[in-house]
A = this chain, B = another copy of it.
Amino acid sequence: MDTVATPAEPALRAHVVEVADALFYGRGVQAVGMDDLRSASGVSLKRLYGLFPSKEAIVLEVLRRRHELWTSSLAQAVAAVASPREKLLATYDYLAVWFDDDDFRGCGFINTFGELGATSPAVAAAAREHKASFQSYMASLVDAAGGSADLAAQLAILAEGAQTTAAIAGSGEAAGQARRAAATLIDAAL
Chain A residues packing against B (C-beta within 8 Å): 26-28, 30-31, 105-106, 109-119, 124, 127-128, 131-132, 150, 153-154, 156-165, 167-170, 173-174, 177-178, 180-181, 184-185, 187-189
Contacts and interface: CB of A to CB of B under 8 A. Distances in A.
A164 B112 CA distance: 12
A161 to B, nearest CB: 3
A59 to B, nearest CB: 14
Given A109-B168, A124-B168, 8 more contacts: A28-B116, A111-B115, A131-B169, A157-B162, A157-B177, A157-B181, A160-B164, A160-B165
Grouping DSSP codes into helix (H, G, I), strand (E, B) and loop, the A interface class, with mixed when no group exceeds half, is: helix
Contact of A156 (B156, B163, B165): B165
19 contacts: A27-B118, A28-B116, A28-B119, A105-B118, A106-B114, A109-B168, A110-B110, A111-B113, A112-B114, A113-B168, A131-B165, A154-B181, A156-B165, A157-B177, A158-B181, A159-B161, A163-B164, A184-B188, A184-B189
Q: Count identical subunits in the complex.
A: 2
A188 B137 CA distance: 26
A157 B153 contact: no
